[in-house]
Amino acid sequence: MSHAWHEEMQAEIKAGGRVSDRDIADKVRHAVLMQRLPPGTKLPEVTLGEVFGVSRSVVRKALTRLASEHVVDQRPNQVARVRAPSIEETRETFEARRLVEGEVVALLAGRLSAETLDALKVQAREESEAYRRGDEPARIEHSLNLHHLLAEQSPNRVLGGMLTDLVLRTSIVVALYKRSGLASCYQDGQHDRLLEHLADGEAEASRRAIHDHLHGLESLLDLSPREARIDLMSILGRTPEQA
């Protein structure tokens, strides 16, 4: 674990009251999303416990939760690590998300209340503004909020839950495989177009918009199998940062 993140967490802890396993999971998940904890990072139970001021029991539950979300790799008798999905899994995650999110927005088209539509627009605008001023963390945050809102609003809650999971997994692999040159994966206007179709009640157009959006996002990644960055890393045992 990185020392910067370490101290940041401890500071936050002092302020608040007790921390639950959910709190820990939230913080770790967020750190992974923000690339503060790169894939392969070890997450020893005692260390995490010290960071958050709780015992291993609570940490273990948090790690188990994160493992069920595919954020962390938890194998028997081994320290948990931030997961590093393969290139193949990345493609499959995108395919799955296209299927599920496409269906969700198709179901959602024309059914959104004015309030939620406004909330979605706010996130889209904030995202675009964050992009313009070069604030990538904020940009990611707002993009995530937008898709998370869509998942929450899904008339089909089961599909909504699956979508929440897929949005998380997609974000992780985007952070992992983003072309090194690229500063951001922002695609101008795509969210706005989706929102228009949703407001107009055009189910199939909404589905297409999401498909295009996700295909575009995937195409911004470096998924060339030759390099096999991850495999090399794990094979060579190069662990980004230890506790």
Partner DNA sequence: CGGGGTCATTTTGTATACAATAATGAGATA
Partner DNA sequence: TATCTCATTATTGTATACAAAATGACCCCG
Tokens of 24: 């820990």
* Sign of torsion over alpha carbons 224, 137, 183, 216: positive
- To DNA, the closest distance from the beta carbon of 85 in angstroms equals 20
Classify strands 80-82 and 42-43 as parallel, antiparallel or unpaired.
antiparallel
Residues 49-68 that bind DNA (CB under 7 A): 53-58, 60-61
Q: Is 26 exposed, middle or buried (0-12, 13-18, 19+ CB in 10 A)?
A: middle
184 sits near a second copy (criterion: CB under 8 A): no
| Shorter beta-carbon distance to DNA: residue 44 or 240 | 44
**Which window, 34-42, 138-146, 155-163, 231-239, contacts a second copy (CB under 8 A)?**
155-163
Q: Which does 58 bind (CB under 5 to 8 A by kind): a second copy, DNA, none?
A: DNA
Q: Which does 45 bind (CB under 5 to 8 A by kind): DNA, a second copy, none?
A: DNA
- To a second copy, the closest distance from the beta carbon of 132 in angstroms equals 34
Q: Is 210 exposed, middle or buried (0-12, 13-18, 19+ CB in 10 A)?
A: buried
Residue spans of alpha helices (H) in the chain: 3-15, 21-33, 45-52, 56-68, 87-108, 114-132, 136-153, 157-177, 190-200, 203-219, 229-236
| Residues in touch with DNA (CB under 7 A) | 18, 20-21, 43-47, 53-58, 60-61, 76-80, 243
| Residues in touch with a second copy (CB under 8 A) | 60-61, 64-65, 68, 89, 92-93, 95-96, 99-100, 103, 156-159, 162, 166, 169
